[in-house]
Amino acid sequence: MILGLLKEYGTETRVALLPETVKAFTDLKVQVLVEQGAGETAYAADSDYEAVGASIVSRSDVFAKAEVLLQIQPPAEGDIQKIKDSQVWISAFNPLWDTKLVKTFLDKGTTTFSLDLIPRTSRAQAMDILSSMATVSGYMAVLEAASKLPTFFPMFMTAAGTIRPANVLILGAGVAGLQAIATSRKLGAQVQVFDVRSAVKEEVMSLGGKFVEVEGATEDKAAGGYAVEQTEEFKKKQQQAINDVAAKSNVVICTAQIPGREAPLLIPKEAVEGMKPGSVIIDLAASTGGNCELTKDNETVVHKGVTIIGQSNYPAQKPMDASRMFGKNVLNFMKLIIAEEGALNLNFEDDIVKGTCITHAKEIYNERVKSVIETK
């Protein structure tokens, strides 16, 4: 197999494979073409890639010669035509949300894998880019909140008096939320948490957070560990409870998401107006509309003294470790499609390969994507 590693675009600073992971591919007899400068923003030089057996080539050569194209971000508008129908495209392109791109790939007949849809099974844990990147986001969200907050996170007892610890409210206790709880606690804040999945209560408590219970949440085991849409009655009850806690919080970290849908609205404008001036909201769900009504993706908004930061790509602020984790996940996944002597083997008998495949031979393979496209 000839694997082509593309340089990312825009504000993305990560790279899908660092040299250390490229070495694992060359050891498997995969030929790796690296676009010139691909690792620059993650502090990996072209010479580091060459040292582990990769060839540095131009972008057009990667598109012309690779059998498998690898990039973190979805293809840029102008790159879609460059992908040949016979090539395999691997990235994280949010197909439950970006159905237009899925239809484009479907029409072209390209084989595509979207790593954000790796099934959530124990065998697939080491390939789960969502978990890896959510870990970075949860950590960074807290650090950014702590640096923007006009008060401290920990309690300080000083000769100049006692400083009270910050109150942090975390919405959603998935991977990012749990990391945000752990980081907030390490910095000494008091943490309260909302989620609609009761299964997370013990994890929240074991990390030192207080789980705020609202009765009547809808849960669905078939959703693969994800949250589902809630009833109107529950939403009203939950809203009241969130408004009350938010009014007493200095920081709100929003992480609540529902795959394939807009993020649930949990902090309406009135709730922001009920918060103390100087408070900070970090909205990690910004790219799918945000949990806060006033969130703007990739922007900072200040409303009546409350700072609302819409940030959906914190991993790009930690490019070395984020690339390291992403690359390890890619390697673990790609081992499933690499046969002897490094040959490409699309083994759709494997549930992880089939579940992560979005389009192949003009068909949609992933069942969730198929149903989203059929109902749109």
Site residues (CB under 6 A) for ligand NAD?
120-122, 124-125, 128, 130-131, 134, 171-177, 194-197, 200, 225-227, 230, 255-259, 264, 266
Residue 18 CB, shortest distance to ligand NAD, in Å, is 22
Question: Which among 92, 10, 5 has a CA at the least distance from the CA of 48?
Answer: 5
Please state, in angstroms and rounded to a whole number, the distance separating the CA atoms of residues 85 and 99. 19
Which of the following is catalytic: 59, 120, 197, 261? Answer: 120
User: Smallest distance from the beta carbon of 330 to ligand NAD, in angstroms?
Assistant: 15
When the beta carbons of 111 and 288 are compared against ligand NAD, the nearer one is 288
What are the beta bridge partners of residue 167?
190
Active-site residue, selected from the candidate residues 226, 261, 312, 317: 226
* Active-site option among 55, 60, 81, 125: 125
Least distance (Å) from ligand NAD to the CB of residue 210?
Answer: 15
**In whole angstroms, how close is the CB of 136 to ligand NAD at the nearest point?**
13
43 is catalytic: no
Nearer to ligand NAD, 27 or 262 (CB): 262
Shortest separation between residue 65's beta carbon and ligand NAD, angstroms:
34
Q: Which of 91, 131, 249, 311 is catalytic?
A: 131
The nearest distance, CB 21 to ligand NAD, in angstroms, is 20
Compute, in degrees rounded to 10, the torsion defined by CA atoms 313, 173, 327, 101: -60
226 among known catalytic residues: yes
| Cα gap 253→173, rounded to integer Å | 10
Of 19 and 174, which CB lies nearer to ligand NAD in the complex structure?
A: 174
120 is catalytic: yes
- Closest residue to ligand NAD using C-beta atoms: 174
Contact between residue 17 and residue 45 where contact means Cβ atoms under 8 Å apart: no
Kindly tell me which of 247 and 265 has the beta carbon lying closer to ligand NAD.
265
Please identify, using beta-carbon distances, which residue of 79 and 350 lies nearer to ligand NAD: 350
Catalytic residue among 71, 73, 128, 311: 128
Q: Which is nearer to ligand NAD, 57 or 352 (CB)?
A: 352
Active-site residues, by number, are 120, 125, 128, 131, 226
